[in-house]
Structure 1
Amino acid sequence: MKDFKKELFYKEFIQREHDFFRAPYNPEIEFYNTIQSGNIQKVKELCSEDLMHKKGLGKLSTNNLQNIKYHFVITTALTARYCIQGGMDLSTAYGLSDFYIQKADSCNSIEKVSALHPIMCLDYTKRMKNLRKKNVCSIQVAKSIDYIYDNLHSKISVDDIANYVGLNRSYLSRLFKKEINCSISNYIREKKIETAKNMLLYSSYKPSEISSLLAFSSQSYFTEIFKKYVGCTPNEFTKRKMS
């Protein structure tokens, strides 16, 4: 039951749908992080509601068609920015942005712009998923990475992953290190700390709550690992955010 609650809390952070179109300077960060992480299924869920029916859609123009085009441009520009931060090269990110903004500009109805929105989001998402695994040669390592991303809210062991992909633990560890140039355990810690940083920056969760939600064995261990990877404690990181 405890693990189930952790999963719900973690998924609440990742999936929570707020009014992310209202202000370009304060977007709903989870949406863009989901695209950046290459989570195709979750982006499909987040895009299931038409852009024109999103709650709290701000009024940027008195012309309804122009209004939704403006919102599309904002979303596309922010998506490109987050994907660049996630490792997409500038030419690809901005090339896609220009392409989709021009497509939206040529649309002659609100419905057409709204229909283009999930296509654009999923295009970026699929490219980010491929980018995440661009150095991966084997299907087993690719599946291992997907398993890790899907279970950051749990305690993940190498044995769990080995069982999931159907390989011997030792062989998988060697294969993963060869292809990713990082041990499985270090990779898991890196991804958990990346998620913790985003939660500290863009949610109201306290370090103690994040430690539990990401299944660290204790808050002191979470603080130790966070400082190792980030160079400061979670509390110091939060104070820098506020300054």
Structure 2
Amino acid sequence: MNSILLVDDERWVRTALRYSIKKLFPSFQIAHECENGLEALDWMKQNQADLILTDIRMPLMDGLVFIKQLREENEQNDIIIISGYDDFPFVQEALRLGVTDYLLKPVQDSDLKQCLEQWKKKRSRAEKEENSKIDNESFPPSTIERVLQYIKETPLREITLAETAKQLHVNPSYLSQLFKQHLNKNFVDYVTEQRIEEAKRLLTATSLRMSEIAERLGYSDLAYFSNIFKRMTGSSPSNYRKSSRSL
């Protein structure tokens, strides 16, 4: 599933984008929404998204500074920027920073569809090329063992693909493909599974508040944590706690 992070200070814009994306691409998932670049950076420290749609002009931290910060932290997410007609100099700067594409406000469904379809094709080609490269390489068994050991020993709230790759001195793309090859799942899904298992333990064995548990696991947004927990377990965190204590 392709996951998307929406970053725009205008709520109605985020709502319109979310509605259009779900209508045009039902398989896409809106992972989260943020009002500015600073909030998005904070979310990205503990979470991942395949694609970021971000406005240029926002308070606290605008889109350009947000993108620069991501690149400085070696985050190579695909990014599509949203801008007004008067923002073209900013668009040029963003393109130099390696953004995938840009959309003009107000965003039309036809433009959004074309943009996301092109992104899907580009992503598919890149994955095929990477898989072909991976198939022709041999990985030391110790590499994946080191990754799993690092995840086991590191607080879950601190684990990201970029940081794990940095600590093990490997390329993030290499690490992502390594996971798929050896574990038949991607890195983010594996870490999410570990977080949910730890959430189950904390809900059963402690009296920590839901917000405290979410924070320990790296989720700054309680609603987002609750949605992931329910999607993976079929039960909300509060109901899971009640049922486990009634046994």
| Range into which the TM-score falls when normalised by the shorter chain | 0.3 to 0.5
Q: TM-score, normalised by structure 2?
A: 0.41
More strand by share: 2
Q: TM-score, normalised by structure 1?
A: 0.42
More helix by share: 1
- Structure with the larger RCO, 1 or 2 (CA within 8 Å, 6+ apart): 1
